[in-house]
Structure 1
Amino acid sequence: MDPRPHGLPVLSRQRSASLAWGLGGLLLALLLALRVDAGLAWDSQRLLRGAQPLGELALRNALAVQELVQQLPGRDEPGRIAAVNDFFNQRIGFRSDLDLYGVTDYWASPLETMARGAGDCEDFAIAKYFTLVAAGVSQKKLRLVYVRAMDLGLAVPHMVLAYYPTPDADPWVLDNLVPGLRPASARPDLTPVFSFNAEAIWEGVGSSPVKGSATERLSRWAAVLRKAREEGF
């Protein structure tokens, strides 16, 4: 199912990759109700307590995430990005929302994904986002990006995580379908439509803001933020 908020246009593929991924897009709306509380720190014990009643797989994956986050401060930021991307791409399998949750579109929290050991593209991006924030990467450098991905000549809905080392940088793309990290300029198969994090939502390269409430347009993201906080992220 297309997770694009109602009213957001699909971008022209004639735009250059660097323009499409640039951070110069107009800020559409601040998600004030969704801001991460600065006093709410990563709580690995809360994560483990939440995982325990969900079964052995959930607890094993939660322990692995705890260990990963503890190790990451010893690495530089690009090293943290690569480690988290590899961790989830190697540990989590791809399965559709219909198989996992019985619905066509569901955005899982990190612990829900850990408990099943599987997820779809949104679930990979969400788990990577919260784990990197827990490891000390500023959420200002991270965006979940809804894209149109070219697959066998067809544009299909997809979601990735983008990391911006600096505000005007060519971002690195964390993708569950492509191993390793690649700059967005090297991914002409992806056309960004909109991007967001816990602070804001952006139209890819549009010049006009989308009308209406951003929180209403991203109600699934609001639900994920609430659940992730309860899980210790």
Structure 2
Amino acid sequence: MLLHVSLLGGEFKLSSSFFSSQPSPKSKAIFKDYERFMNETSPKSLHVKLEAVNFYVNAFVGAYDEQTYGRDEYWASRGEFLAHGGGDCEDYVITKFYTLRDLGVDAKKMGLCVVKDTDRGLWHMILLVFATHKEEPLVLDNLSFKVMPLSKRYDIAIKECMNEEGSVKLQNNAFVEDSTHRPFKSYKAMLDRTSKEILWQH
């Protein structure tokens, strides 16, 4: 079970042990700015949070797994993404997921989704978020600074989704269990590392 942080109405303050463990002045500076961002964004409305988180995380530099971790298909945790100052598409999605979760968005209303880029024929990953039960999910994508309804993203086809519940699928404006798929090993390994990352002081 992952530790769920909910500091609505409170203050986000980095854990002193986590902050001191950062390997460089650059990573320390990134985390201090992330702390600032979280406190600044926390009181905002949901839609403003979605726009702010998408923009903030997208501003980090893209990098391939081989460059950063020396191997392919490494799904970085939020802490690893921030410490390195960037990552590839799934790392952006993971960081947005946990950022929004800490900002009070229900994790069950979010899905990390593997999609096919139908324009380029490439695989990609996005974050889907249900703002309400009556609305279609919104797309947060590291290739776009615009948060858009899924129906407006004609260039992507959803293939598989997952969240902390496991593999999920879209059904009646919600994510429900998908017994036809199992979460990727890289995703499970990321969840394990994330469970050991205590970013915030309690």
Distance of 2:117 and 2:134 partners within structure 1: 23
Distance of 2:53 and 2:61 partners within structure 1: 15
1:73–1:135 contact (8 Å) kept in structure 2: yes
Identify unmatched segments of 5+ residues in structure 1: 1-34
Deviation at 1:200, TM superposition (A): 3.1
Structure with bigger RCO (C-alpha 8 Å, 6+ apart):
1
Distance of 1:201 and 1:83 partners within structure 2: 27
Aligned to 2:102: 134
Deviation at 1:203, TM superposition (A): 4.2
| Match among 79, 85, 88 for residue 48 of structure 2 | 79
Give a deviation string over 1:113-135, Cα, whole Å, max 9, x none.
11211200000000010011111
Instruction: State the one-letter code of the partner of 1:73.
Output: S
Aligned to 1:97: 65
Aligned to 2:180: 210
Mapping 1:11-26, distance limit 5 Å: none
Question: Paired residues, what number?
Answer: 188
Distance of 2:170 and 2:70 partners within structure 1: 31
Aligned to 1:231: 197
Aligned to 1:185: 151
Structure 1 runs (4+) deviating above 3 angstroms are: 35-38, 40-44
TM value normalised by structure 1:
0.73
Structure 1 125/150 Cα, relative in aligned 2: closer, same or farther at 3 Å? Answer: same
Identify unmatched segments of 5+ residues in structure 2: 172-177
| Match among 24, 29, 32 for residue 63 of structure 1 | 32
Residues 1:125 and 2:93 aligned together: yes
Superposed CA RMSD: 2.2
Give a deviation string over 1:135-194, Cα, whole Å, max 9, x none.
11111221111101134xx42110011111123521111100112211111101110011
| Match among 129, 140, 156 for residue 122 of structure 2 | 156
Give a deviation string over 1:91-114, Cα, whole Å, max 9, x none.
x11111111112121100111111
**Structure with greater proportional helix content:** 1
Aligned to 1:30: none
